[in-house]
Structure 1
Amino acid sequence: MHRSLAILALSSLAAASAIQYPFVESSQPETISNKPLVSSNAIQDDISSDKLLKRAKHLFKLAELAIDEYNHPTRVIGSQGHVATLDYIYATLAGLGDYYDISNQTFPAVMGNVFEYRLVLGDSSPNSTAAMSLTPPTKDKEPVFGPLVLVANEGCDSSDYPANVTGSVAFIRRGTCPFGIKSENAGRAGAIAAVVYNNGKGGLSGTLGQPSKDHVATFGISDTDAKPYIEKLQAGEVIESSAYIDAIVESIGTTNIVAQTKGGDPDNCVMLGGHSDSVTEGPGINDDGTGSLTLLEIATQLVKYSVNNCVRFAWWAGEEEGLLGSDYYVSQLSDEENMKIRLFMDYDMLASPNYAYQVYNASNAVNPVGSQELRDLYTEYYTVHGQNYTYIAFDGRSDYDGFIRNGIPGGGIATGAEGIKTRKEAEMFGGTEGEWFDHCYHQLCDTVDNLNMEAWELNAKLVAHSVATYAVSFKGFPERTAVKHNVLSEKSLYHGSKLIM
């Protein structure tokens, strides 16, 4: 018997309610133009680990407001912990006077909650069994029974499903198309449940994505667990099976918060973002409390200065559910507004305890031109400060994705999630070889005690440096020429932190 309280959300056309904050706007006060022009050194000096830690401790108290709902601290969308987080961000910005135009952007989402699941194939339950996120329940939220039926190819076409899959559990190989398509095809073929087995090494946990009326209860298992079943089915054996998922999928609403300086050229905007939500399983103080609080602290310090180019901060909701907030934001931009954003910087997980200084490998060859120049700004900073750095894949796992897909140069830094630190990385950054960069990634222990403050302070100063650099001048940075971009049309395995195919 397994329990999972993972709550996921996806954009939906259904109307949903959410917090409504007033739009805060007033004419630019003369005092802004009388302030000194921001400089990198000055605003870096304003950043300290003490200030960041104080904010992190407060954020954890906000996460504790969800204990009555979830039996532990969390800031997942829809929870009291996330509502309080939005209140905190908005109130902090509104308390800074007339420096920013502040707005909220409410959007509908679909929330899924998997409470309990069980899969028995033959006389055993695969050890690697995981319920897919955003899966529907089995019929009437009760166990269903039927033979396991092997699906041809990868189950991406209706012709892959044999006639005897009706009333059976469809057994489908991962690959070629998203998990949601496989589940949909299985449902249309009459299957009572679906099991997707890995075509690579290890277990398989992902999301079905946008809900469909044809989805059926869907599980993932490892290649190792799948192998003996495949052999038996190919030999003509009958494997009687049972599947059970207790889950809900429902519409909610949630909110992005955006703050833009009143000063600076509004047609040449520096934009940066982090996500305000956590996963259900924990309070998310590193993921992404560190990113969202870094933005909040820099926004607080920036009011001391004037800027030549406008600076736009964004706190996204629903990142953990598939980049919902950032995707929605970009989808609502007109071409004219899109072109005003000169670049987007993503800051997600800046204080992992077993950290590496990671820079997204955003080259101009496969991303909007300007992404590589931003990448080089980060690496030059680390080099100047005597720090090593490493490149990581720019593969759609965080909120930059919607921007680069719509022609806006992007990039960012991180300190590592569930990846394993190599021997070379341990030599470069210290820490422990063979362990996750963040052993509390997406877990209850992602608390204030999970933060490496040395890494966070340095990275927060780098974020401040990136803001100040482009707030002063885009000299040498490529001009935006069109919304169309040169991103390759390769399929990504990720959209956010979860596998989609």
Structure 2
Amino acid sequence: MRFVPFVALAAPALAQYNPKPERATVKPRNTARELQLVSPDALIKQINLEDLLEGSQQLQTFADAAGGNRAFGGTGHNATTEWLYQTLKATGYYNVYKQPFTDLFTAATTQFTAAGEELDAAYMTYGPSGDVTANVVKVNNLGCNVADFPADVSGQIALILRGTCSFAIKSANAKLAGAAGAVIYNNVPLTALAGTLGGVGDYTPTVGVTQEVGEGIASKLGNGTVEATLFIDAISENRTNYNVIAETIEGDHDNVLMLGGHTDSVYAGPGINDDGSGTIGTLMTGLALTKFKVKNAVRLGFWGAEEFGLLGSYHYMKSINGSLGGNSTEINKIRAYLNFDMIASPNYVLGIYDGDGSAFNFSGAPGSGKIEKDFEEFYESRGLAHVPSVFSLRSDYAAFLENGIPSGGLFTGAEEIKTEQEATLFGGQAGEPLDACYHAACDDINNLAHDAYLVNTQSIANSVAKYAVSFEGIPRANNTLRKRGAERARLLSRFDDGGHAHHGQTCGVGKIAI
């Protein structure tokens, strides 16, 4: 794939997964009449590993030049969105625009010591700065009620187990109980706990630690007091951020397939799997499509500020559903939305969102089951296993489901621990996280499963080609199904405080405040 020159790319070394398929080189477009109608087999042939890795390396380059991350509104993220915009615009196949919006960005440096030992701790975004030395007090239950906090937590540092309610509720309750700080520890092994409080609020300074760190401190408390120092130096600033939207010039614009993923990383790392893999998988499919004619318009959505609470996708949806602009007729034009957030996790499973609700008793909008079935048939046609992934409403598909739009997508896993059964199905290491570098500095160019990356992008191409021709079996969006306010909160509360989710377990870090 030839990209618009932006910065010099390192030439990726090709692995053995896909020997020299046809390259989907973008050439100046003449007219759609000269192109053949897209088909799944033809579009899949345009997808190859070399292009995917070249695109991933470009994102790594942007992160390296920006201090190691592509967090929203920063130079690494701005370079990402500008590159996407210029690359798609250069094809002449799409109408492309950048949609700006401004939101509050927070980040911090942290230091945490307990019993004289310095321990890794991650900032909970939107939390306040703090510098406190005090005793650690373990909270009863899960800190979801102020009554869980013992009286002697006042002026001390609260130790709270993750689960049941959001990080924001735990931190706010700690503040109400008089705690000078809060340390939330994970409820699954081997993985760090970084998260968000979801927005500005009346919180105590809060960090997250691993299950092992939290349980270690709790064990020491059984033998006496534990003194700790919690230091947080937070920054908070409004940042302008961009969604990038590209829609085919040709095709029926009253019957639109939309697909996308988020373009920002967490502050801690470059985000090459989360969600650089979804970004590049979507982009490469979109570029490959330029060699074909479509019946239905195809719209690509590259979302900003997902890591701060799905801000970009919700801003976009509000701009077309009548909240900020547009009207409900625009919603009805989107016949399906496909979401791709982490499709190359190193210790992967091949997850498909549970559109019909048969696995988790929580279905997407009508038509989501058909989208799920089409993905399943692709993997089965190749003799590949697949597993259902729960619609937790913790990725960008949430805004579309809430507006009654049939939705689906793929997910290879974040911090969940791989089971023995999953290791049998997909290989890899049982007892280890699906992505041990999730939301960490090591989520870099070396944090990609090449085989999963390729087959999942081919799966994207298969569905895109299918729906670019026909939406048979997928009804239009039903505006009466739009879930708002308290209903959304009720749905979110079913899935704890997680980010992404799979097999009904939380695996993210609380991207939305409940």
Q: TM-score, normalised by structure 1?
A: 0.80
| Counterparts in 2 of 1:485 and 1:109: CA distance versus 1, 3 Å | closer
1:498 aligns with 2:509: yes
The 5 A counterparts of 1:191-340 are 191-196=179-184, 205-220=193-208, 222=211, 224-225=215-216, 227-228=218-219, 242-334=229-321, 335-340=328-333
Match of 1:349 in 2: 342
Alignment check: 8 A CA contact 1:368 1:485 kept: no
Which deviations, in whole Å up to 9, do the C-alpha atoms of 1:455-500 show, x marking residues without a partner? Answer: 3222212111111111101112233332415887351222453136
Displacement of 1:423 after TM fit? Answer: 3.1
State the SS of the aligned residue for 2:479: coil
Match of 1:395 in 2: 392
Displacement of 1:378 after TM fit? Answer: 0.6
Displacement of 1:93 after TM fit? Answer: 0.9
Displacement of 1:130 after TM fit? Answer: 4.6
Displacement of 1:173 after TM fit? Answer: 5.7
| Counterparts in 2 of 1:432 and 1:151: CA distance versus 1, 3 Å | closer
C-alpha distance in structure 2 between counterparts of 1:404 and 1:60, whole Å? 31
Amino acid at match of 1:61: T
| Counterparts in 2 of 1:276 and 1:192: CA distance versus 1, 3 Å | same
Match of 2:443 in 1: 446
Alignment check: 8 A CA contact 1:128 1:225 kept: no
Amino acid at match of 1:315: F
1:45 aligns with 2:56: no
C-alpha distance in structure 2 between counterparts of 1:172 and 1:434, whole Å? 25
Match of 1:94 in 2: 89
1:469 aligns with 2:466: yes
Match of 2:455 in 1: 458
Match of 1:136 in 2: 128
Match of 2:381 in 1: 384
C-alpha distance in structure 2 between counterparts of 1:450 and 1:281, whole Å? 15
State the SS of the aligned residue for 2:231: strand
List runs of 5+ in structure 2 lacking aligned partners.
Answer: 1-28, 322-327, 501-507
C-alpha distance in structure 2 between counterparts of 1:419 and 1:495, whole Å? 11
Displacement of 1:55 after TM fit? Answer: 2.3
Amino acid at match of 1:461: Q
Amino acid at match of 1:47: I
C-alpha distance in structure 1 between counterparts of 2:120 and 2:78, whole Å? 34
Match of 2:73 in 1: 78
Alignment check: 8 A CA contact 1:359 1:412 kept: yes
State the SS of the aligned residue for 2:292: coil
C-alpha distance in structure 2 between counterparts of 1:429 and 1:239, whole Å? 43
| Counterparts in 2 of 1:162 and 1:329: CA distance versus 1, 3 Å | same
State the SS of the aligned residue for 1:113: strand
Aligned counterpart in structure 2 of residue 104 of structure 1, from 92, 98, 101? 98
Displacement of 1:323 after TM fit? Answer: 2.1
Alignment check: 8 A CA contact 1:268 1:310 kept: yes
Root-mean-square deviation (CA, aligned residues, Å) is 3.2
Report the identity percentage. 38
The 5 A counterparts of 1:114-193 are 114-120=108-114, 123=115, 130-138=122-130, 143-146=131-134, 155-156=143-144, 167-170=155-158, 172=160, 174-188=162-176, 190-193=178-181
- Greater Rg by CA: 1
Displacement of 1:311 after TM fit? Answer: 0.8
List runs of 5+ in structure 1 lacking aligned partners.
Answer: 1-28
| Counterparts in 2 of 1:394 and 1:353: CA distance versus 1, 3 Å | same
| Deviation larger for 363-372 or 194-203 | 194-203
Q: TM-score, normalised by structure 2?
A: 0.78
C-alpha distance in structure 1 between counterparts of 2:191 and 2:91, whole Å? 48
